[in-house]
Amino acid sequence: MSEAPADRPLEFEERVLLAKRTDAEINQAVLQPMLRTSPRFWVLVGLLGAIVAWGLYAWSYLVTWGIGTTGKNRPVYWTLFITTFVFWVGISHAGTMISAVLRLLKADWRRPITRGAEAMTAFALMMAGLYPLIHLGRVWKFYWMIPYPNNRFMWPNFQSPLMWDLVAIFTYLIGSTLYLYLALIPDMAMARDHTDGWRYRLYRVLGLGWRGTQGEWHKLHRALGIFSVVIIPVFLSVHSIVSWDFAVTIQPRWHSTIFAPYFVVGAIYSGLAALATILVIVRSGMRLQEFLRAEHFNALGRLVMIAGMAWTYFWFAGFLVEWYGNEPVTRELIQQEVAGSLAPLFYLQMAANLLPIALLALRRVRTTPGLLLASTLLVNVGMYTERLLIVIGSLQRNYLPFNWGTYRPTWVELSIVAMTFAGFALLYTLFSRIVPYVPVWEMKEGRLRYSLRRIGRLLVPTAAEIE
Amino acid sequence: MAKVAKPSAESAATGTSRRWAMVVDLDRCTGCQACVVACHAENNIPIVGEEQAGYGRWMHWIIIQRYWEGEYPNVKARFMPVMCQQCTQAPCEPVCPVFATYHSPEGLNAQIYNRCIGTRYCGNACPYKVRTFNWFRPEFPEPLPEQLNPDVSVRSRGIIEKCTFCVQRIRRAELDAAATGLTLADGEIQPACVQTCPPSALFFGDLNDPDSRVSQLARSHRSFRLLEDLGTGPAVIYLKGGETNV
């Protein structure tokens, strides 16, 4: 990708370039990568599928023999499963951030990346939703948490943050899946009109008989407008509630009032970074260079940087108070982090979270896919480490020193964590071959904004004010 | 926190007049672990083996915490038996999604094994870390099954368990008293640990009875509750050590 001089907006010319393409050309540019699958693609699918299969074996091993096959002990009752759960819920936040917030703000650069972001939300939530099941001692009784009239004559305990979790995550999963699907309907109809065979039958069902009439567009825009507003409080509540799983207890380092906004900001940071990572990979994998351009990575990189700054502020605000308060157990935990057994993780967290902020301040890093990939991957290494420190690190210490403990992960836990990473990648890969990755109708709509107008003998690039 | 756990409000609400409590005299405890053995036998607690215990997976409902005081060679061992504190405001209770931990009318913090699905949230919420988890299917090698207590259920894997103040003994004594029409005398109910303790470091009784042994001991100037500033209102009262023997 060529570097643009600061004063001359290269993006604008690129937009005009896209404006010259016909609708048919855009359709083909999006549909072609879906229809052509290289052997490399099937190798990737096979590899990811193998990891998922291994993880499922590990899970069945866990269910057969008991939670003892993980590295959990007393007092470290929650470990990698809950850590990774928090991580995936965090990742899921960028989808809403990108589509809903940026749609409401009418940020134009969101158009080609909304679908990728929404799909990321849905799949990350599916992966997150597995962990509350996996970590149960008796997973076969999980339905006892579901509120329905039953022969035990019992409702679940709505005082428990785990119940809030259940409600919030299901609401968010349903909401974000509907949101993803709503914006998908016109493109399903487009794909229906350009394919045959099983794809045609699939798209005909998913397209819901969309014809593209004025009334249909009106309803779609109304629905998307409502969803964009309604889903924002849901998305804020989900990670707040995840943070309250920890913050409502009196476990030192968990019991903190700043946890809810701190977790939300951290979720946005890691989620946006993950989106940038995925976009860079999909862009080269599906040859979408024409749609995912420097301007998009530039804007996304900036957002990641700002989210990173906000995370740093919240982290500092929390850490300072805990350190200054100097409670004995908190002091011990901070000692462990800064100079004790948790120090490697602590410094990894700080380096991997702070370095990308500095890197992403450079335009060159934001617009060079390789550098952007490296710095956003680093962000998620840092954010995963942060969750490790919060969940596992804190639990190793508590009020009575006799009850202190240490934790070592086992192959069962590591395999199941790997399973969800591979499962996410697998779902995403298959999704990108079945569903148009770039929202074609949004692209075409956005394209209308930019045109070359002839004023006298001068060709002037113009932008119109449309929604 | 009030010095004495709030029994009056609780009993008024539930119509019972009892608040079971235990007193642990730290000066009398020798760290002999007899209470731990008695508890295992009474409550069908599985033995996890050396390796698992070393990794923090032992399942004792009462644990003798040992702390060293002073610098070598002038070191003293201090022993502190810690069991479920049967908190008035128990942090473990509200976090359970399926009501497996709940507050009984007599102020006991009850664990209902059959409801537990093993989120282990209560274990994280408990500041005393007295809740133990069945990491594997509990095993009772021969001839241990011969001595399983029929009054106590044998738990399955994947659930949390903890000290109950030997609720089966409390219930039996109460039922017997109701059947015979006699009132329960102080000290008639003894959990296994109290019954076994060779130096009589443990006492059990009703804190709402001002004349009971535990009430008298609770008024001692040596009495304190573990992590009192957390506001959990424990029903286990410790008598500070280091005064009568060293």
Would the CB atoms of B159 and A395 count as touching at under 8 Å? Answer: no
Lowest mean pLDDT among A45-59, A89-103, B41-55, B175-189: A89-103
Which of A66, A141, A159 faces B157 most closely, judged by CB atoms? A66
pLDDT in tens, B180-219: 988 888 989 999 999 999 999 999 999 999 999 999 999 9
Kindly determine whether residue B157 and residue A161, on different chains, have CB atoms separated by under 8 Å.
no
Q: Does residue B141 form part of some domain?
A: yes
**Does the distance separating the beta carbons of B120 and A403 come in below 8 Å?**
no
Distance from CA of B126 to the nearest CA of A (A): 8
How much is the pLDDT for A465? Answer: 59
Residues present in chain A in total:
467
What pLDDT score does A464 carry? 64
Burial A63-91 (b: 16+ CB within 10 A, else e): beebbbbbbbbbbbbbbbbbbbbbbbbbb
Partner-chain contact B129 A403, CB within 8 Å: yes
DSSP string over A340-373? STTHHHHHHHHHHHHHHHHHHTSHHHHH-HHHHH
Q: Do A400 and B82 touch (CB under 8 A)?
A: yes
For A422-438, write each residue's pLDDT tens digit. Answer: 999 999 999 988 888 88
| Range A361-366, long-range pairs (CB < 8 A, 24+ positions) | A361/A305, A363/A3, A363/A6, A363/A298, A364/A3, A365/A301, A366/A297, A366/A298, A366/A300, A366/A301, A366/A302
The tokens describing B230, both together, are: 């957390």
Q: Is A147 on the interface with B (CB under 8 A)?
A: no
Share of chain B above pLDDT 90, in %: 74
> Residue A5 — very low, low, confident or very high, per pLDDT cuts 50/70/90?
very low
Which domains does chain A show, CATH number per domain? 10-463 (1.20.1630.10)
Q: Give how far A230 is from chain B: nearest CA, Å.
A: 27
pLDDT of A29 reads: 78
Residue by residue, DSSP assigns B87-135 as: -TT-THHHH-TT--EEE-TTS-EEE-GGG-----HHHHH-TT---EE--
| Whether B120 and A65 lie within 8 Å, measured CB to CB | no
- Cβ distance A447 to A39 under 8 Å? no
Please enumerate in sequence order all residues whose Cβ is within 8 A of that of B245, keeping only pairs 6 or more positions apart, or say none: B27
Residue A70 CA neighbour count, 13 Å, CB half: 30
Provide the residue type at A375 as one letter.
S
**Residue contact B124–A157, C-beta within 8 A:** no
Order of strands, sheet of B223-224, starting from the edge strand that comes earlier in the sequence: B202-206, B20-25, B236-239, B223-224
Which spans in A361-410 are helix H?
A: 363-367, 369-388, 394-395
**Best residue of A64, A69, A160 to probe chain B, by most B CBs closer than 10 Å:** A160
Closest residue in chain B to residue A394, using alpha carbons only: B124
Q: How many CB atoms lie within 10 A of CB A112?
A: 25
Contact A90, A121 (CB under 8 A): no
In the predicted model, what is the mean pLDDT of chain A? 88
B67–A401 C-beta distance less than 8 A:
yes
How many contacts does A have with B, using Cβ atoms within 8 A?
142
- Using alpha carbons, list the distances in angstroms from residue A190 to A119, A194, A216, A439: 19, 7, 14, 11
Alpha-carbon gap: B54 to the closest alpha carbon of chain A (Å)? 10
Predicted confidence (pLDDT) per residue in A277-315, tens digit: 999 998 888 777 778 888 889 999 999 999 999 999 999
Structurally, chain B folds into a number of domains equal to 1
What average pLDDT does this structure show over A323-345?
93
Closest chain A residue to B117 measured between Cα atoms? A138
Q: CA nearest B65 in A: which residue?
A: A402
Nearest to A157 among B65, B96, B135 (CB): B96
Which of chain B's residues have a Cβ under 8 Å away from the Cβ of A399?
Answer: 127-128, 227, 230
Mean pLDDT of A218-233: 90
Whether residue B129 and residue A163 make contact (CB cut-off 8 A), yes or no, is no
List of chain B residues whose C-beta atoms are within 8 Å of the C-beta of residue A62: none
Q: What is the DSSP string of B169-210?
A: HHHHHHHHHHHHTPPPPTT----HHHHH-TT--EEEEETTST
Do A72 and B136 count as a contact with CB atoms less than 8 A apart? Answer: no
**pLDDT confidence of residue A109:** 81
| Residue B102 covered by a domain | yes
CATH code: domain of residue B178: 3.30.70.20
The confidence band for A185, taking pLDDT boundaries of 50, 70 and 90, is very high
Task: Summarize the confidence of residues A397-417 as an average pLDDT.
Answer: 94
| CB < 8 Å from B in window 159-178 of A | 159-163, 166
Is A162's CB within 8 Å of B132's CB?
no
Residue B2 placed within a domain: no
The Cβ of residue A336 has, within 10 Å, a number of other Cβ atoms equal to 20
Quick one: pLDDT band at residue A15, thresholds 50, 70, 90?
low
- The domain in which residue B154 lies consists of 7-239
- Chain A CB contacts of B133 under 8 Å are 67, 72, 74, 77, 137
Q: Tell me whether residue B245 is in a domain.
A: no
Chain B contact probe: residue of A74, A76, A404 with most B CBs at under 10 A: A74
Q: How confident is the model at residue B3 (pLDDT cuts 50, 70, 90)?
A: very low
Mean pLDDT of chain B: 89
Report if residue B244 sits inside a domain. Answer: no
Q: Is the Cβ of A67 closer than 8 Å to some Cβ of chain B?
A: yes
Q: Do A145 and B98 touch (CB under 8 A)?
A: yes
Residues of A with Cβ-Cβ distance to B159 under 8 angstroms: 137-138
Residue in B80, B121, B134 nearest the CB of A162: B121
Which pTM does this prediction carry?
0.91
Contact A395 B124 (CB under 8 A): yes
Task: Tell if the CB–CB gap between B120 and A399 is shorter than 8 Å.
Answer: no
Percent of chain B having pLDDT more than 70? 92
Detail the DSSP E strand segments found in A68-160: none
ipTM of the complex: 0.88
Spatial CA neighbour of A345 closest among A386, A405, A406, A395: A386
Task: List the single range of A30-39, A51-60, A209-218, B215-224 with lowest mean pLDDT.
Answer: A30-39
**pLDDT the model gives residue A33:** 77
Q: Which region among A399-408, A449-458, B1-10, B72-81 has the lowest average model confidence (pLDDT)?
A: B1-10
Q: Which two tokens stand for residue A28?
A: 């083909």
Inter-chain residue contact A76 with B65, CB threshold 8 Å: no
Note whether A145 contacts B97, CB cutoff 8 Å.
yes
Segment A400-406 mean pLDDT: 93
With contacts defined as CB-CB under 8 Å, which chain A residues touch B127?
250-251, 398-400
DSSP B76: E
Judged by CB atoms closer than 8 Å, whether chains meet at A163 and B135 is answered as: no
Residue of B nearest to A403 (CA): B129
